[in-house]
Structure 1
């Protein structure tokens, strides 16, 4: 009888884990292939710009993929079991997506957020089933999340450390594999550039590793907002580079170089002014009716600059970037003129530069 008890317990745990993994895989099957939209450019340029629309995931952002991968990573490594409390340090889209999956698996979810986090964000996290634990200052998030997980016997998901290793860049229906599959019948099926931002560094690591693994000539460019440490860390080869400045473009940019950022797979980094990012998402909405967040604008500015460079060099090809999340959650911020003005952002010169680019194909800094 005594010998049977451990086997019975193992069987129960294995059964729960197997069910949990099956639920995550079912979600992946339902939501994996997001749309690849075409941004209108003059066809005679010979350059096509595609927008991978990650806003259509069930939790409304690119972080849906990351959250699923992080939880799957914890499951297969034997760190998440039935009843395990999941803990994160995030006040944004990652926490929303992780809360969604935690509820799917019947697990408690707690995220550590700065005291200054907006009520709108808190509502999104709580709507998805999560709870918020407040800290001040925001830089204490990491240590507090680790402490809380240890205190309750939970599991710290730690997106900033595990993002680059939780996603299988070889396949497993990752975002890179999806993009190349969707481009197969286009006139330039192997893109010249992939343009992404860095929040954890996981997305750029996935694309960068995938194109090398598949031996594609595609280059990866990472766009970085004002005040972020990633650009300086990449430029100087300094993994310890910090700025101490939080990003004003939600979802990308960090005050420190995060552990998941892999500079060796990146071909180029571009700094983008915050006002340009906001001007770009407003232009995107007017030109395509796609309503996106500020990080999508950062991506778009980087793509425009690279297209202008390709035209100047007489090159043709395609560029792919991402719609990272939907614009509805930013109606009171990036799309509100008073809010933008209060931050001292003048969108007009950036908008004029982009309009000139779309007419002539040239980019003037």
Structure 2
């Protein structure tokens, strides 16, 4: 529960600015980057897809367990270096879970209060992780008011609203500085196909896809970027229609990805192709990959993997070879009571079994995958360059 709120000015007295404190905070965060930035790039061996190499960048190994660790680090450095966070400044974020976990970690590291404004439906595991790092959970009933409530709470506290959905695309140095794109290409240098045909990334804030897409252009790599969007989200329609005002009333069931609006950090101009993936297909791909890795992954990783397999199927049908890369966004341990719980799936009308069978057959034998068999009512859709 959120403790009684007192304005920052009442708690701390007049605002102070100690440059030495900021220097120490930046140094602490950069030390964390030196220890943890270069996560493993796993090659998934699939004999049936000879000539197509599949790689998984495992972001679940960060200290806070997800890709959002990178984003949180960048957001804190951005806010510190722009003078938004000073000694004792309360930090507020609007988050469905993973970003808040990572931001709570960094807030605790530099000694500032942290408040996460989240939907009441956020998983208990993520709430527990936030409180573990000393964060406060401010739960609201209607996710449509997430942004407004976060801004209002920051104003009441006299603090800083981090606003990941606006600043994700600009907080990370897309030219390099060991960002995730540079890390992927460095790790691929000794591989058979060091320049992948595609990198696949789902969209939450849009910040990671913006970083990858910009880096590809900056380095003049031929690699293309495919962004996988979930069933209930505004990104795919915004991309297809060229209209970032698109919205989606129904919230995404896949935590961490999909948004009711096209977020400011989403940069459609750096995306070569988008794919809309039904929720049941995301869960199916999550299950298939979990069995192949012999450890659980999350639902957004399933979204990524389904899109990657669709691209692999198209490459196989065209007789082309090369490599494909996607991300393991977080561990499936956070979703034991949701995506891995049959009763939870049944209550939401999700049956991953048919797509699991298709995907398993494709990976085991190379059997072609058809769009029409994924979901008769909501087929997997693609838009963009082939």
Q: How high is the TM-score relative to the length of structure 1?
A: 0.95
Q: How does 1:261-276 map to 2 (within 5 A)?
A: 261-276=266-281
Shift of residue 12, structure 1, vs aligned partner: 6.8
Shift of residue 120, structure 1, vs aligned partner: 2.9
Shift of residue 66, structure 1, vs aligned partner: 0.3
Q: How does 1:292-303 map to 2 (within 5 A)?
A: 292-303=297-308
Residue aligning to 2:296: 291
Q: How does 1:221-236 map to 2 (within 5 A)?
A: 221-236=226-241
For the residue of structure 1 that corresponds to 2:248, the secondary structure is: coil
Shift of residue 123, structure 1, vs aligned partner: 1.4
Aligned equivalent of 1:16, options 9, 14, 21: 21
Residue aligning to 2:89: 84
Shift of residue 22, structure 1, vs aligned partner: 0.6
Q: Distance in 1 between matches of 2:274 and 2:85?
A: 36
Q: How does 1:237-276 map to 2 (within 5 A)?
A: 237-276=242-281
Q: 1:325-362: per-residue Cα shift (whole Å, max 9, x none)? A: 00111111111122212211111210111022111252
Q: Which has the larger displacement, 40-49 or 334-343?
A: 40-49
Gaps of 5+ in 1: 1-8
Residue aligning to 1:5: none
Q: 1:263-304: per-residue Cα shift (whole Å, max 9, x none)? A: 000000001111111111111121121321000000000000
Q: Distance in 2 between matches of 1:276 and 1:44?
A: 21
Shift of residue 44, structure 1, vs aligned partner: 6.2
- Runs of 4+ that moved beyond 6 A: 9-12
Residue aligning to 1:360: 366
Aligned equivalent of 1:61, options 58, 66, 70: 66
Q: Distance in 2 between matches of 1:272 and 1:230?
A: 12
Q: How does 1:1-365 map to 2 (within 5 A)?
A: 13-42=18-47, 45-358=50-363, 359-360=365-366, 362-365=368-371
Contact 1:220 1:268 in 2 (8 A): yes
Residue aligning to 2:384: none
Contact 2:257 2:300 in 1 (8 A): yes
Contact 1:311 1:361 in 2 (8 A): no
Contact 1:224 1:272 in 2 (8 A): yes
Q: How high is the TM-score relative to the length of structure 2?
A: 0.90
Contact 1:90 1:112 in 2 (8 A): yes
The root-mean-square deviation of aligned C-alpha atoms, in Å, is 1.6
Contact 2:75 2:162 in 1 (8 A): yes
Shift of residue 10, structure 1, vs aligned partner: 12
Residue aligning to 2:374: none
Contact 2:96 2:256 in 1 (8 A): no
